[in-house]
């Protein structure tokens, strides 16, 4: 089920909210868990069983690891937990990729298994892994209450596209959490903003990309326009989802970690990745990079560690070579920055910003490429290496038609508006006015979003495929 | 404002709006048909184990919630106004308006469709007719031909389309009418042209096909409000138009027959019941019909005409009545062309393929 769908907004959510707030505290997690499983099963009922099996494995391994903590058995159980979870992920996400690669190398033609990807498997598998590893590291206590652990893993606000919530971060909130007007108000605000980002910006930017992919009137500027729109679309799509997840979490009394912090204002790629999909970056840092030795090793080993992490980051995003190349592309850039250019870029904001925007647009071109020939054609178009004009009639049309949305998107991808509002709020009278108007803006945004949903349009969440 | 009060105000206001829509949506009665969009709305899907497991129930339910939403037309109006006036999109779902004219972008050019159409026309021509027949074709440029390019909207490559047809319909004689029409010959809110403006087109056909029209027409007006097909699609509040029509003694005395499942039945040239219906343009020849015959017993010659046409033909074909003893009007969207041998036989008739660019560029419905 999509957050940005009418069944979610006007059937699922109100029923869950009512049930959640009328049941006693002791049953709130039961309501959350039951609704989460229903939410997950909405699109793919058969994979609810897979999720329950994953939860049970996480639960049992957590208890076993704790029971045998500081013994070899604990190590065996944590390795087993990691291997089993990764095998599940490998089978459901990567098996056909492996078969295809094996066929290419050997010339065989082993038939594909055509396994459909369970939605959100990459996210909840990583949550389970972090849980069992943290128990093994004795950083958290194993959860004895199966309902509570299942609620953590399956909680619908962040189940499908993150943020990847650490058990340690919400361990206490699973049993003791506050439901205050402040938190609910903040939750409503974040949810409304996220929904608007998704429906009013990401979806509309996606329309430009879909026109470009079908165009019979290409141009160099059109290819840059499409690449820019894709970068913005994926940002608003994913950060919009994270906002909605964080907002819903707050309404239900949880504090999930922030997942985005205006990544497009970065001056270096290093900074970009501190601001983009923060929960994934942290996960790989804590559970892969540092266990590999991090930077406290020889230079060669350190470089290898970086490439391992970025290979994994790319591969996590999808079972395809373009994602691996995308990850390694960033790994390479990060190594160059760490060795040579970081200080230079960091001290020259204009050059740094332009560099990050340029790299990001190219990077997402690689991310979006279905195959290398498509990528080659896209790059040839962008750099005027193919036989297309600089500008075309269709390009002008879509620039005119989507110009306002692109400008709004560019502004919304920076903290400009937030800064202006904060400055204005320093004046008491203006603050009062803003306080009065702000909720009306959320209501207005919500009604416009509903209008777009009722009218029916392009609506898939990009990050659901990961 | 104190933070606490602001938070309470935010929660109460947002919850009130949200739950009001939720409740109103639950209470909204089921609606079967959308007059505005001229389509049946999705029904609530039946819950079965099979459609739950194959995910069809959830996708059908999503469509149902979209179609049966509380104040659906009002929300569509908000969306249209946001698109045009806030985001300044040039079109909304392909619909654009310029100086009261509402139209839908027809883009891009689709050569595959052109090929399909010309292949089919040539096949029909070679299988049903021979050298005894004079075979003509005429392409009606849609409204965008006169509206889109001059106002910066996307448009079909009309010249390329016309040239393609010339190169592929070599056995037919072209009757060019694009230069005779102008934007004002089309309804403001509908796809179609106005019958009362078509006398110049009729004269062109008469000259090219060598038939005579000597009786003048009387223009009459229907006392109904006509909302073109784009009004509902656009969700905008737009004024109604009037349908005018041309008639004379020849048209009034003609015998008009429609092919039905029970054979031919006799009806009127102009269907006054349909003028009040969901699509007022169906007033002309009752709209979508597979085969219609118009017989003019008082015709001064024995010439017959077979017209293959789309909906644009509905308003033009009645004007041909005086020129022929019998006119057979065929719409191969509603009858497969392979079945035509059962209904027409070659007696040296004139043959006219009369299609709009809209259909040529979306010709898969031609069978």
**Does B183 contact A at CB distance below 8 Å?**
no
For A176-181, which contacts have Cβ atoms below 8 Å and span 24 or more sequence positions? A177/A252, A177/A253, A177/A254, A178/A253, A179/A21, A179/A252, A179/A253, A180/B7, A181/B4, A181/B7, A181/B8, A181/B10, A181/B11
**Contacting A residues, span 11-50, partner chain B, CB-CB under 8 Å:** 11, 14, 42-46
Could you tell me which residues come within 8 angstroms of residue B157 by beta carbon, excluding any fewer than 6 positions away? B109
Mean pLDDT estimate for chain B: 92
Q: Are B186 and B101 spatial neighbours (Cβ–Cβ below 8 Å)?
A: yes
| b/e per residue A199-234 (b: at least 16 CB within 10 A) | bbbbbbbbbbbebbeebebbbbbbbebbbbbbbbbb
**Chain A partners of B11 at a C-beta cutoff of 8 Å?**
181, 184-185, 188
- Catalytic annotation present for A353: no
Distance CA A269, CA A260 (A): 14
Helical axes A349-368 vs A220-251, angle rounded to 10°: 90
**Chain B partners of A215 at a C-beta cutoff of 8 Å?**
108
pLDDT digits (tens), chain A, 466 positions: 889 999 999 999 999 999 999 999 999 999 999 999 999 988 788 899 999 999 999 999 999 999 999 999 999 999 999 999 999 999 999 999 999 999 999 999 999 998 888 888 989 999 999 999 999 999 999 999 999 999 999 999 988 777 899 999 999 999 999 999 999 999 999 999 999 999 999 999 999 999 999 999 999 999 999 999 999 999 999 999 999 999 999 999 999 999 999 999 999 999 999 999 999 999 999 999 999 999 899 999 999 999 999 999 999 998 888 899 999 999 999 999 999 998 999 999 999 999 999 999 999 988 888 888 888 899 999 999 999 999 999 999 999 999 999 999 999 999 999 999 999 999 999 999 999 999 999 999 999 999 999 998 544 455 554 4
Could you tell me which residues come within 8 angstroms of residue A421 by beta carbon, excluding any fewer than 6 positions away? A434
What pLDDT sits at residue B47? 85
Distance CA A211, CA A216 (A): 10
What pLDDT sits at residue B1? 63
Q: Which of A362-371, B22-31, B78-87 has the lowest mean pLDDT?
A: A362-371
Tokens of A28: 């709130």
Nearest-Cα distance to chain A for B199, in Å, is 36
pLDDT digits (tens, 9 = 90+) for B148-166: 989 999 999 999 999 999 9
| β strands within B296-359, DSSP E | 304-309, 326-330, 350-356
DSSP secondary structure string for all residues of A371-428? SHHHHHHHHHHHTT-SS--S--HHHHHHHHHHHHHHHHHHHHTSSHHHHHHHHHTTSH
Mean pLDDT of B172-199: 96
What pLDDT sits at residue A318? 86
**Does A403 contact B at CB distance below 8 Å?**
yes
pLDDT digits (tens, 9 = 90+) for B30-41: 888 887 777 888
Select from A6, A446, A451 the Cβ nearest to the Cβ of B76: A451
What pLDDT sits at residue A180? 95
Nearest-Cα distance to chain A for B1, in Å, is 5
Nearest-Cα distance to chain B for A413, in Å, is 17
| b/e per residue B227-237 (b: at least 16 CB within 10 A) | bbbbbbbbbbe
Nearest-Cα distance to chain A for B306, in Å, is 37
Q: Which residue in A179, A277, A317, A353 is the catalytic one?
A: A317
What pLDDT sits at residue A458? 43
Q: Please state, in angstroms and as integers, the Cα–Cα distance from residue B130 to each residue in B49, B134, B172, B175, B345, following that order.
A: 58, 9, 11, 20, 11
Chain B interface mutation, best of A439, A448, A449, A458, highest count of B Cβ atoms under 10 Å: A439
**B185-189, B225-229, B333-337: range with highest mean pLDDT:** B185-189
Select from B1, B14, B82 the Cβ nearest to the Cβ of A188: B14
Mean pLDDT of B269-292: 89
**Does A181 contact B at CB distance below 8 Å?**
yes
Distance of CA A167 to the CA centre of its chain: 18
């Amino acid at each position: 089920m999509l957050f940005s769908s009418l069944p979610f907004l006007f059937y699922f959510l109100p029923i869950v909210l009512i049930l959640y707030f009328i049941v006693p505290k002791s049953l709130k997690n039961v309501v959350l868990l039951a609704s989460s499983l229903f939410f997950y099963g909405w699109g793919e009922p058969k994979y609810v069983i897979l999720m329950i099996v994953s939860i049970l494995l996480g639960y049992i391994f957590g208890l076993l690891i704790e029971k045998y903590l500081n013994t070899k058995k604990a190590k065996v159980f944590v390795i087993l937990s990691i291997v089993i979870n990764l095998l599940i992920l490998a089978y459901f996400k990567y098996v056909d990729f492996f078969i295809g690669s094996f066929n290419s190398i050997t010339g065989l033609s082993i038939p594909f298994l055509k396994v459909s990807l369970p939605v959100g498997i990459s996210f909840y598998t990583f949550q389970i892994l972090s849980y069992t590893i943290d128990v093994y590291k004795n950083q958290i206590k194993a959860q004895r209450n199966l309902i509570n652990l299942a609620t953590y893993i399956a909680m619908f606000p962040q189940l499908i596209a993150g943020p990847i919530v650490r058990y340690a971060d919400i361990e206490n909130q699973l049993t003791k959490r506050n439901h205050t007007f402040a938190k609910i108000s903040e939750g409503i605000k974040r949810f409304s903003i996220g929904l608007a980002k998704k429906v009013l910006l990401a979806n509309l930017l996606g329309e430009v990309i879909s026109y470009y992919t079908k165009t019979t009137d290409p141009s160099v500027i059109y290819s840059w326009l499409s690449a820019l729109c894709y970068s913005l679309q994926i940002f608003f799509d994913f950060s919009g989802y994270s906002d909605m997840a964080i907002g819903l979490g707050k309404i239900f009394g949880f504090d999930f970690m922030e997942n985005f912090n205006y990544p497009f204002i970065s001056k270096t790629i290093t900074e970009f990745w501190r601001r983009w999909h923060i929960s994934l970056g942290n996960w790989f840092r804590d559970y892969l990079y540092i266990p590999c030795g991090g930077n406290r090793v020889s230079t060669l080993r350190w470089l290898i560690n970086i490439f391992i992490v970025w290979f994994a980051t790319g591969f996590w995003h999808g079972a395809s070579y373009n994602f691996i190349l995308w990850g390694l592309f960033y790994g390479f850039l990060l190594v160059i920055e760490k060795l040579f250019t970081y200080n230079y870029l960091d001290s020259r904001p204009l050059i740094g910003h332009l560099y990050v925007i340029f790299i990001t647009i190219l990077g997402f071109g690689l991310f979006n490429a279905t195959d290398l020939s498509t990528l080659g054609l896209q790059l040839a178009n962008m750099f005027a290496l193919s036989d297309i004009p600089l500008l075309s009639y269709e390009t002008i049309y879509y620039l005119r038609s989507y110009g306002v949305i692109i400008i709004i998107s560019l502004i919304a991808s920076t903290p400009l508006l937030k800064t202006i509002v904060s400055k204005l709020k320093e004046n008491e009278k203006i603050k009062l006015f803003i306080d009065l108007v702000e909720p009306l803006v959320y209501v207005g945004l919500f009604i416009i979003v509903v209008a777009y949903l009722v009218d029916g349009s392009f609506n898939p969440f990009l990050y659901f495929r990961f | 404002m104190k933070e606490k009060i602001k938070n309470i105000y935010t929660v109460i206001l947002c919850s009130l709006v949200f739950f009001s829509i939720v409740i109103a949506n639950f209470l909204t009665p089921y609606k079967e048909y959308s007059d505005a969009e001229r389509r049946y709305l999705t029904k609530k899907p039946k819950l079965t184990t099979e459609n739950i497991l194959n995910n069809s129930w959830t996708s059908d339910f999503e469509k149902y919630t979209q179609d049966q939403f509380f104040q659906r037309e009002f929300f569509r109006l908000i969306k249209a106004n946001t698109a045009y006036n806030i985001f300044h999109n040039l079109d909304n779902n392909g619909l654009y308006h310029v100086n009261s004219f509402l139209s839908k972008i027809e883009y891009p050019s689709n050569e595959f469709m052109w090929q399909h159409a010309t292949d089919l026309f040539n096949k029909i021509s070679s299988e049903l007719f021979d050298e005894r027949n004079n075979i003509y074709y005429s392409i009606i440029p849609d409204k965008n031909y006169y509206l889109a390019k001059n106002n910066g909207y996307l448009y079909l490559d009309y010249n390329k389309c016309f040239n393609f047809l010339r190169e592929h319909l070599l056995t037919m004689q072209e009757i060019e009418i694009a230069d005779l029409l102008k934007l004002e010959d089309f309804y403001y809110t509908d796809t179609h042209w106005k019958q009362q403006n078509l006398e110049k087109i009729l004269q062109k056909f008469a000259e090219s096909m060598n038939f005579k029209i000597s009786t003048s027409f009387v223009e009459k007006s229907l006392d109904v409000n006509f909302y073109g097909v784009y009004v509902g699609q656009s969700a905008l509040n737009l004024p109604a138009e009037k349908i005018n029509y041309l008639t004379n003694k020849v048209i009034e005395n003609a015998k008009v027959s429609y092919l039905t499942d029970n054979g031919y039945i006799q009806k009127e040239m102009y269907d006054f019941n349909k003028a009040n219906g969901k699509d007022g343009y169906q007033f002309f020849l009752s709209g979508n019909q597979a085969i219609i015959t118009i017989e003019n017993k008082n015709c001064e010659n024995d010439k017959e005409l077979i017209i293959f046409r789309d909906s644009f033909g509905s308003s033009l074909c009645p004007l041909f009545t005086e020129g022929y003893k019998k006119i057979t009007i065929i719409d191969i969207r509603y009858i497969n062309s392979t079945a035509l041998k059962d209904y027409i036989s070659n007696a040296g008739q004139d043959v006219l393929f009369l299609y709009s660019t809209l259909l040529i560029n979306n010709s898969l419905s031609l069978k």
